Structure 1
Amino acid sequence: MSHVAVLGAGVVGVTTAWYLRQAGFTVTVIERESAAAMQTSFANGGQISVSHATPWATPTTPKKALKWLFKEDAPLLFRLRADNTQLKWTLQFLQQCTAERADANLVQMVRLGLYSRDALQTLRAQLAIDYEQQTRGIMHFYTNQAEFEAALAPTERMQELGCERHVIDINNAVSLEPALYPIAHKLVGATYTSRDESGNAHLFTQKLAERCQQAGVTFLYNTDILALNPDQHAPVSQSHIHSLTVRPQGENAQTFTADSYVLALGSYSPLLVKPLGIDLPIFPAKGYSATYQVNPRAPHLAPFISLIDDEFKLVTSRLGDKLRVAGTAEFNGFNLELNPTRCAAITRRVQQLFPKGIIANSAQYWTGLRPMTPSNVPLIGQAHRGRVTHGSSNASSSFDNLWLNTGHGTLGWTHACGSAKALSQLMQGELPEVEFAFVGMEN
């Protein structure tokens, strides 16, 4: 089999390496950090949440975004910047804010999510990897009547697509997760998806990277990827990547050559391919998380079931004796500074929900860049010049050896195994067993 270079060692890149190696490819993973999963996959919300497939771009989102525009602790915050890339992305996002587009994007996300969750469960059974996983399902709970009512139609739509998300009453919600009992009087409704899961994405990715190495995958850590070098002699109708320019830490730039290349660099993906004439509509959304020590005197007062607080756009996952709470989004370019106001807002909400379940002053705050497409649907498939969207194709300007697995947004952990498995099949000339709008394929 041919040699594939996977660019990026987050959860998407490492799962891609695993499936490609299992298919017989020689695989090298190139990563600028010193280990796998040190950026966006480091401290995310930890959910495998097929049920969290409602896209951000809906008919009601523009109004909400305007209302939140100058609130530092808003769940979704667009910072006004003199940035043409952000402006262009925002306009593309607004084009997705129709009922028709929102439904089409939800369908894509649910299909990929179901496929990916099955792939993860199969992989876990095969490798017996322990990553603090919980298989107790995911519950969306609502303390706002309008938010609950807005969730009913998407819930029904997900059921039609095979996602077993169901509306449950408050008594059932509290019975499933007793840690919600102190705020039961504030709940107006809930939904529950029993087959959804949670776990430590960082731990999973690092353990899978170890298995990859044992299977023969090479990892080049501490190595910057500077450029993709096209073959100047390739026919106009079929572009070809000749090599990479890389720079290992402490060394001069050098050339690295493989037969094929997979782009899995998250928010940094568009920067690398822009010189090739490839326009990836991906923009970073800065997400936050806080990890708390569970109160050892009252561990039952912190939730075991993974939760989604839809009003405040926060998710919670129990990771051993820790509680991970993540969410919110700030569109502020590649800025990675922790905003104390947004950090405090997370802790304030957690204290409202589980005041005796966590040790509030134990919070470890983190922020990372989620690679968002305007539709929330990731870009998986064969690259081509021009604007790339899910399902786009340009046979006259495609690359025969450059592949995309990027733009997963908030669902990178959810969609990682399915995206990687599907891409490995595409690279073998096979059709994946999931109905999805892959890049480079006629749909």
Structure 2
Amino acid sequence: MKIAVLGAGVVGVSSAWYLARAGFDVTVIDRQPGVGLETSFANGGQIAVSHAEPWANPSTPLKALSWLGREDAPLLFRLRADPALLGWTLRFLRECLPGRARRNIRHIVALANYSRLCLGRLRHELATQGGLQYDHLEKGILHFYTDADEYRRAMHAARIMREFGCNRRLLGVDECVALEPALAASAASLVGGDYTTEDESGDAHVFTRQLAAHCRRVGVQFRLGESIRALDSAQGVVKGVLTAAGERIEADAYVVALGSYSPLLLRPLGLNIPVYPAKGYSATLALSADSVAPTVSLTDDGHKLVFSRLGNRLRVAGTAEFSGYDLSPNPARSDALLERTRSLFPSLNEAAEPEVWCGLRPVTPSSVPLIGRTGLPNLWLNTGHGTLGWTMACGSGAVLADLVGGREPAVSFPFVGRADASGELCAELSVQR
């Protein structure tokens, strides 16, 4: 059975790997000249089950209102005449209800835990075949807080996560500094933290490149630098992929793993998925040998920033800007990110100018991704992972391969199944094989 995977980010390449290992003949198609060059290129670097609280939670609406008009706000909605954003926002507000937020945490923790397990198994499997070297660290993730109210709200989410299998252990200020001494300069502003020992960090782009090399070794073909113009469908099935160069690529089944661009490809087929792009920012700081920089991966929940040590680099990433598909960097947002980093860690001793980047995260209103078959029986989705694409990539690929192969996935999850009467695909639907 031939399968075309559309998208060569970390989710698409992971999908290709698990599909190939399940015995399928896989071809990956992407407009970029290499793999992992868009959203996967410079993300926060965390494998973060502890980051399972969805953006849509009871405290978000009031916080978002307080941030209106601030160009450096952690969450920035730009008012614009965009029906897709309006519809997404209304669904987002519904997901802020306490019961729905709790349910979404349960689903995210389940998939993220499974994905972290799959990643560990993958490293072990490939250890004798060249391995995977991507500045990987297994030092856990420490969430720290500088606002007492924010800390109390976070503890509620942490309790729910512990119920569902994510062990976020509470720490006092002294314990936070003992765990990560680079926080000593900011200790006076800290009010507490929590630590998840099992979480990890690493460079998603390097991982994607190396996994793609292993994919080629097991027979996966990559057609890079080929823009996808449309999906050709007839009689209720997809017949082929039409490229911008006028070529038609045919397969038996098709997997859409195009991140934020997935809705644009699916809409002409009458499929409307609740995925919207959220622009995130990152900066990569080269460190001098005498830098005092964190080695434990950190999350600054109040400012919605994460920090990961990648060899002799520090990656800081975060914030979300809802401005459609505009990839123009906003200097006010990248400057705020760097200002916060330097205030927390005044002895970084940077060896070069920071490399600033922004990319589009594919976010669903619930933060739960869409994985499974659509109403077209040979068309599958693996998209909508938001900020957790790197965290969920391996698990999502393994789940998808199980579903395509007709096997029961190892993790219980509310997979996308079919379009509802309005043509919209919802994560609440059951699996339809």
* TM-score of the pair, normalised by structure 1: 0.92
Counterpart residue number, 1:123: 122
Question: In 2, Cα distance between the equivalents of 1:207 and 1:294?
Answer: 24
- Spell out the pairing of 1:24-423 with structure 2 (5 A cutoff): 24-127=23-126, 128-231=131-234, 234=235, 239-247=236-244, 252-298=245-291, 301-359=292-350, 362-383=353-374, 398-423=375-400
SS in 1 for 2:210: helix
Q: Is the 8 A contact 2:282 2:315 kept in 1?
A: yes
Which AA in structure 1 matches 2:51? H
Listed one character per residue, the Cα deviations across residues 255-310 of structure 1 (whole Å, up to 9, x for unaligned) are 11000000000000000010111010111000000000123223xx1000000000
Which AA in structure 2 matches 1:56? W
- The structure where strand makes up a greater share of residues is 1
Counterpart residue number, 1:392: none
TM-superposed deviation, 1:442: 2.9
SS in 2 for 1:21: helix
Question: In 1, Cα distance between the equivalents of 2:430 and 2:362?
Answer: 25
SS in 1 for 2:248: strand
Q: Is the 8 A contact 1:347 1:360 kept in 2?
A: no
Counterpart residue number, 1:13: 12
Question: In 2, Cα distance between the equivalents of 1:289 and 1:325?
Answer: 6
Which AA in structure 2 matches 1:216? G
TM-superposed deviation, 1:87: 1.2
Which AA in structure 1 matches 2:152? E
TM-superposed deviation, 1:361: 6.0
* Higher mean C-alpha deviation, range 356-365 or range 96-105: 356-365
Which AA in structure 1 matches 2:273? L
Q: Is the 8 A contact 1:40 1:369 kept in 2?
A: yes
TM-superposed deviation, 1:358: 4.0
Q: Is the 8 A contact 1:32 1:221 kept in 2?
A: yes
Listed one character per residue, the Cα deviations across residues 165-217 of structure 1 (whole Å, up to 9, x for unaligned) are 11111121111111111111211010000000000000000000011011110
Question: In 2, Cα distance between the equivalents of 1:55 and 1:162?
Answer: 16
Question: In 2, Cα distance between the equivalents of 1:168 and 1:141?
Answer: 9
Q: Is the 8 A contact 2:263 2:273 kept in 1?
A: yes
TM-superposed deviation, 1:360: 8.2
SS in 2 for 1:104: helix
Q: Is the 8 A contact 2:185 2:346 kept in 1?
A: no
Q: Is the 8 A contact 1:177 1:303 kept in 2?
A: yes
Q: Is the 8 A contact 1:425 1:431 kept in 2?
A: yes
Question: In 1, Cα distance between the equivalents of 2:81 and 2:268?
Answer: 22
Question: In 2, Cα distance between the equivalents of 1:406 and 1:332?
Answer: 19
Q: Is the 8 A contact 1:351 1:360 kept in 2?
A: no
Question: In 2, Cα distance between the equivalents of 1:439 and 1:85?
Answer: 19
* TM-score of the pair, normalised by structure 2: 0.95
**Aligned pair count?**
416
Listed one character per residue, the Cα deviations across residues 64-115 of structure 1 (whole Å, up to 9, x for unaligned) are 1111110000000000111111111111111111101111111110000000
In the alignment, does 2:418 pair up with 1:427?
no
Question: In 2, Cα distance between the equivalents of 1:442 and 1:83?
Answer: 30
**Which of structure 1's runs of 4+ aligned residues deviate more than 3 A?**
none
SS in 2 for 1:359: coil
Change (3 A) 1:17 1:421: same
Which AA in structure 2 matches 1:152? M
In the alignment, does 2:430 pair up with 1:442?
yes
Change (3 A) 1:44 1:358: farther
Question: In 2, Cα distance between the equivalents of 1:62 and 1:245?
Answer: 41
Which AA in structure 2 matches 1:256? I
Listed one character per residue, the Cα deviations across residues 354-387 of structure 1 (whole Å, up to 9, x for unaligned) are 011242862110000000000000000001xxxx
SS in 1 for 2:309: strand
Question: In 2, Cα distance between the equivalents of 1:351 and 1:276?
Answer: 48
The share of aligned pairs that are identical, in percent, is 52
Question: In 2, Cα distance between the equivalents of 1:361 and 1:152?
Answer: 38
Question: In 2, Cα distance between the equivalents of 1:404 and 1:273?
Answer: 10
Listed one character per residue, the Cα deviations across residues 136-193 of structure 1 (whole Å, up to 9, x for unaligned) are 0000000110110001111111111111111111121111111111111211010000
Question: In 1, Cα distance between the equivalents of 2:337 and 2:227?
Answer: 34
SS in 2 for 1:366: strand
Change (3 A) 1:306 1:70: same
TM-superposed deviation, 1:49: 0.1
Question: In 2, Cα distance between the equivalents of 1:265 and 1:67?
Answer: 33
Question: In 2, Cα distance between the equivalents of 1:297 and 1:166?
Answer: 31
